[in-house]
Structure 1
Amino acid sequence: MLVPLIALSAGFIVLIIGGELLVRGAVRVAERAGMSQLLIGLTIVGFGTSAPELVASIEAARAGSPGIAWGNIIGSNLANSLLILGTASLLLPVAVPRGPLWRDGGLALIATVALWVVASTTGVTIAIGSAFLILLLVYLGYAYRAEQTQPAGASAVHEKAEALEVSDTHLHDMQPLWRSILVLFSGIIMIVLGGRWLVEGAVDLARLLGMSEAVIGLTIVAIGTSLPELVTSVIAAYKGASAVALGNVLGSNIFNLLLIGGVTAIVAPGTIPDEITSFGLPVLIGASLLLLIFAATGRRITRWEGGILLVTYLALLVYNVVAV
């Protein structure tokens, strides 16, 4: 029991630190290369802050553990929508721009429903994974054009970048290029190692506890890989940038479904475990609808609505434990 817990804990720590180093190193290198802040936010930051989930899911898929891979994706979105946004709303009611809400929240909901339909019928295929990646590229292109013409109506991915900036006021401090490159590659190495340790520890722990890999993915792995989003959203809410916290969550959900889900489907096509199809995905659809309803009423998520989101997530955790 001790060895899997050590591997799991070490994987979490190394994965999260690696993700932070990857984003900061990549942003600084991109800035020195002359990339705009907008393009950096839409590509490097959006991809980099989803790197822990991406590597963990790919490692799980390659290790023959699709339950952990897909459980991580669905569980991370549940944690984003219920745990993270609920916690942020308790600190400060979250303001909701109506346009980005329906565009970005709607896209995440449509992608979730599409994944559920596919998982319930044919299973995920390379073609489905490719379609998800193409949809992400289309969204990024649309968001880039929209932000160039309407900078006030920022997309979820841009807000995700702002959340990272809010949480680290020294993000853009100048430093030698070689040091930025070193930070970038250090982050990549740590993410790869951390993802491998995390998956190995999670698989061993699931076997020892008699829990299914899907439940481990939906809970332990998902919470661990969502910690960067939790930290940035809570700090953003604490500093009064509550709308940034919402954008951070919506951006993460889009990247998790389209990028990580797409890559996972390509790397390991086949059926999605029944716990994900019959429980995880329907619950995520319900949580997404609940989030949209709360956000649409009064154009803010109030403290009591945030409390409902948080209590719902805790109830899901208890159910998963009891159902084992």
Structure 2
Amino acid sequence: MFGLETNLPLAGGFILAGIVILLFGGDMLIRGAAAIAKRASIPPLIVGLTIVAFGTSAPELVVSVDAALSGAPGLALGNIVGSNIANVLFVLGLPALVGVIGTQAPGVRRNAVFALLAGVALVVVSRDGMIDIIEAAVLFALIFGFIGLLAFSAMGAKDDDPLLAEVAELEEAASKGSLAMTLVLLGVGIVLLPLGAHMIVMGGTAAAEILGVSDAVIGLTALAIGTSLPELATVVVAVMRREAGLAIGNVLGSNVFNVFAVGGAAGLAAGAAGVELPVPDQFMTFDFWVMLGASALLALWIFAGRNVGRLAGVLFFGGYVAYIAALWWMNPIQL
């Protein structure tokens, strides 16, 4: 379709355009939903723990679900694992080369532990080479346990978790817009998200076929980097404003949602289509361990009370470059 199967620049253009559409759609969906919640007098805590938290993972979620339903499971899982690796090594590593990212913000230690445990959970359910519908349901259920813990912590200890930091900005924006504009934002977001996701899946599978690599490689690289750009921009701005302590909490929270919400939803979508979500062999021998290693390294850094500064930046970003190089060395292009 559209000549994608034989035109690499066109396939790449579909991926790039899909990412742009996806990110705009996700932002509009969050702002529209938050504005409606504001008008309905829903407490900010609920807005932060549901609309904002789920909304920021909406791009990865719709891509993975579309990929699972379209017969591109490697793209679905590659998107999740690749995003989690990129969030730690790329999104934190690159900005740390020019500024310091604090690790003392509320909720950072807890989120670091949960990000590591989420990665372990993904490896456990993938151990037999498949994620069946029951395992997917367990993963998806765990996100509600995580949200419940955040709610309990926020109410009981006045803990301003980083996932809630966006609520004040969204509430301010919500108070300025009309109801009609709110509905337009929500509607456009709902339309753009699946459109962008489908373009990415079409472009990604075509590019993989042209390059002679698996669709998982496209998910682990181009798609993971593309969907991590908003987090990168957030961390860069936070470093420039010397407010990067909250940014690291958002990155860790995103990794938890990627595994539980996105991974669970992708597995459920595959199960609804009558198939299990297959796990490529390379994930069990390489990519999962890079993901767990990155999460463990960051957790150790945080519990040691050390900020993510230039040394960590060199270590993290250098590790990401090495990972991408190793990935392409293991999966040589065959034009």
Aligned to 1:96: 103
* 8 Å contact from structure 1 (residues 22, 186) kept in 2: yes
**CA 1:42–1:88 in 2, change beyond 3 Å: closer, same or farther?**
farther
Answer yes or no: is 1:158 the counterpart of 2:160. no
Cα shift at 1:257 = 0.5
Aligned to 1:79: 86
Aligned to 1:295: 302
Match for 1:254 among 224, 231, 256?
Answer: 256
Q: TM-score, normalised by structure 1?
A: 0.93
The amino acid across from 1:93 in the alignment is V
Deviation digits for residues 279-320 of structure 1 (CA, Å, limit 9, x no counterpart): 111110011111112222234222211221111111111111
Aligned to 1:220: 222
Match for 2:15 among 2, 8, 13?
Answer: 8
Aligned to 1:32: 39
Task: For structure 2, list consecutive stretches of 5 or more residues without a partner in the other structure.
Answer: 1-7, 271-275
* 8 Å contact from structure 1 (residues 95, 301) kept in 2: yes
The amino acid across from 2:153 in the alignment is A
Deviation digits for residues 16-56 of structure 1 (CA, Å, limit 9, x no counterpart): 11111111111111111111222111110111111110111
Match for 1:242 among 235, 241, 244?
Answer: 244
Answer yes or no: is 1:113 the counterpart of 2:120. yes
Cα shift at 1:130 = 1.3
**In 1: Cα distance, 2:151 partner to 2:95 partner:** 27
* 8 Å contact from structure 1 (residues 98, 296) kept in 2: no
**In 1: Cα distance, 2:286 partner to 2:297 partner:** 16
Q: TM-score, normalised by structure 2?
A: 0.90
Cα shift at 1:215 = 0.9
Deviation digits for residues 173-224 of structure 1 (CA, Å, limit 9, x no counterpart): 5111121111011011111100000110010000001111111111011111
Cα shift at 1:88 = 3.2
Moved more, 282-291 or 225-234: 225-234
Q: What SS class does the counterpart of residue 136 from structure 2 fall into?
A: helix
**In 1: Cα distance, 2:210 partner to 2:110 partner:** 43
**In 2: Cα distance, 1:297 partner to 1:18 partner:** 39
Q: What SS class does the counterpart of residue 164 from structure 2 fall into?
A: helix
Moved more, 214-223 or 103-112: 103-112
Cα shift at 1:170 = 6.3
Cα shift at 1:10 = 1.2
* 8 Å contact from structure 1 (residues 53, 256) kept in 2: yes
Moved more, 173-182 or 51-60: 173-182
Alignment of 1:178-193 (within 5 A): 178-193=180-195
Deviation digits for residues 246-273 of structure 1 (CA, Å, limit 9, x no counterpart): 1110110011010001111111223311
* 8 Å contact from structure 1 (residues 143, 155) kept in 2: yes
Deviation digits for residues 91-130 of structure 1 (CA, Å, limit 9, x no counterpart): 4322213872332111121121121122122621111111
Q: What SS class does the counterpart of residue 79 from structure 2 fall into?
A: helix
Number of corresponding residues: 319
Alignment of 1:116-127 (within 5 A): 116-121=123-128, 123-127=130-134
Q: What SS class does the counterpart of residue 278 from structure 2 fall into?
A: coil
Cα shift at 1:169 = 10
Q: What SS class does the counterpart of residue 120 from structure 1 fall into?
A: coil
Q: What SS class does the counterpart of residue 94 from structure 1 fall into?
A: coil
* 8 Å contact from structure 1 (residues 4, 205) kept in 2: yes
**CA 1:195–1:270 in 2, change beyond 3 Å: closer, same or farther?**
closer
Task: For structure 1, list consecutive stretches of 5 or more residues without a partner in the other structure.
Answer: none
Q: What SS class does the counterpart of residue 226 from structure 1 fall into?
A: helix
Aligned to 1:69: 76
- Aligned-pair identity in percent equals 37
**CA 1:182–1:169 in 2, change beyond 3 Å: closer, same or farther?**
closer
